[in-house]
Amino acid sequence: ISGMRDWQHVFRNIMIHETSDCHFEACLVYNQWRLHSTIDKDLESKIRKKASYWRQVLSRIFNVTLTLAMSNLAFRGHRGIIGEGNSGNFLSIVELLTKYNPSLEELVRKPKGSTTYLSPKIQNKIIYQVTEGIINDIKNALFYSVIIDTTQDLSKVDQLSQVFRYITIRFHENTSTAKSFNVVLMIVFQTKVLEAINVLSKMLQSETQELGKAAEMLENAYNLMKDLRNSFFNIRQSVVKVAQTWGFELKRAPEAKRHFDELSADQQLTEPESQFKVNVFYISIDIIIAQLDHWFQSLKEIVHDFHSVNPQFLVESSDEDLHVAEVTLASRYAADLSPNFTAQLLSLRSCWKSEIKKLSTVKELATMLIVKQNTFLSSFPDVYTACMLFVSLPVT
């Protein structure tokens, strides 16, 4: 190690050095380095093997815990020892898996007092960590929905369940997809549709909503969707502003050169924006319009049948028009309305025309007959019956 200066006896000194412990240890280190290994390779191999073993054990314990939690099953029984009766669902499943998994079999055979990770504390920690992870994902999500439902168990105790629905996007994996112009276009398009449909849906679900008002709102939503179908350019302008706000790049699609003998009809929808407009935008809008039209036409027919008891029509219509409307309604409900229906409508209009002018719905007319003019209710039984038939019809 310190060198040599006795060159006359160099061969003897070399032989002495080659038989020394220092040279032997140096050769051993060199040989291990040449094999790309370390001196403590065996120790490191044991550590890795042990880590792999515990990783497999914890993976199976984790899966059993999540399975029982998602199935809303009890974990523990009367006894917390594997192999004994009533040990609970968790230990019973672990005991079953030991027959097919060597890692769990070795875990169960460990002596008492050894680390097994089968205690209830570990189960609670796993559930807590999963819950915290879900809560963090919901908080970080841009949009999420909540569904709450209650039911009674066998002991008549209400059980409340909450369901959260959210979407997570891995931007580092789907950068090109997330920053697509069509994605922003779809979001803005759905927002426009939901702004109109959501208000309609909430109003139709109201307990005080009347059939005539529902038909009017459906007609407004139908006309709004028809206008939206012709507003793709305005939607695109809104998308451009949103995309610029979010920092998305707007790339112009390359245009293919056409030959002089090609016609415009030969052009295919190769541009993504045109494909979205034809294959998504128009198809979605047409389906919505068709559904609203079918729903609106059904309500429109019912409202038209009961046109004779509409306060505005009752005041402004002539005797002939009122008679025609009465015949239409009486023919549909012949078992409920008598031939005196027209005479009762004319008599009602002549008696309280000024008060009927202040009304706007059939429900208000029925309220006037039942509450304000209840003493004359027996004089207009068919009018009252027609109003009750209309009010009792469900909106949805």
**Residue pLDDT, tens place only, 154-189:** 788 888 888 888 877 665 544 454 446 677 777 888
Residue 262 has pLDDT above 70, yes or no: no
Residue 150 confidence (pLDDT)? 85
Residue 55: helix, strand or coil by DSSP? helix
% the chain with pLDDT above 90: 9
214: Cα within 13 Å, side-chain hemisphere: 28
Beta strands in the chain (DSSP E): 144-152, 158-166
Residue 86 confidence (pLDDT)? 80
Alpha helices, DSSP H, located in 73-208? 89-97, 102-108, 120-140, 175-178, 181-204
Residues 74-129: tens digit of each pLDDT: 888 887 788 777 888 898 999 899 999 998 889 888 888 888 888 889 999 999 99
Residue 53 confidence (pLDDT)? 92
- What is the CA 329 to chain-centroid distance, rounded? 44
Region 347-352: what's the mean pLDDT?
79
In the chain, the amino acid numbered 149 is D
Residue 177 confidence (pLDDT)? 44
Question: Worst-scoring range by mean pLDDT, 240-244, 286-290, 346-350?
Answer: 240-244
Q: Write out the two tokens for 246.
A: 């979010």
User: Tokens 């006037």 label which residue?
Assistant: 368
Whether residue 363 contacts residue 391, with contact meaning beta carbons closer than 8 Å, is answered with yes
Whether residue 289 contacts residue 271, with contact meaning beta carbons closer than 8 Å, is answered with no
* Better-predicted residue by pLDDT, 247 or 253: 247
Region 27-53: what's the mean pLDDT?
78
What is the 8-class DSSP label of residue 74?
Answer: -
Whether residue 288 contacts residue 222, with contact meaning beta carbons closer than 8 Å, is answered with no
Region 301-310: what's the mean pLDDT?
78
Residue 229 has pLDDT above 70, yes or no: yes
Question: Worst-scoring range by mean pLDDT, 215-229, 253-267, 316-330?
Answer: 253-267
Q: Write out the two tokens for 97.
A: 């898996």
Region 227-239: what's the mean pLDDT?
83
Long-range contacts of 197-201 (CB under 8 A, 24+ apart): 197/221, 197/288
Region 298-304: what's the mean pLDDT?
78
Q: Any idea how long the chain is?
A: 396
Residue 257 confidence (pLDDT)? 64
Residue 165 confidence (pLDDT)? 86
What mean pLDDT is reported for the chain?
A: 79
* Short-list 346, 351, 344, 323, CA closest to 386: 344
Q: How far apart are CA 97 and CA 120, in angstroms?
A: 18
Residue 266 has pLDDT above 50, yes or no: no
Task: List residues bridging with 285 in a β-sheet.
Answer: none
Instruction: Categorize the per-residue pLDDT at 269 as very low, low, confident or very high, splitting at 50, 70 and 90.
Output: very low
Beta strands in 259-325 (DSSP E): none
Whether residue 362 contacts residue 310, with contact meaning beta carbons closer than 8 Å, is answered with yes
Residue 302: CB atoms within 10 A of its CB come to: 15
Q: Which residues contact 366 (CB under 8 A, 6 or more apart)?
A: 384, 387, 388, 391
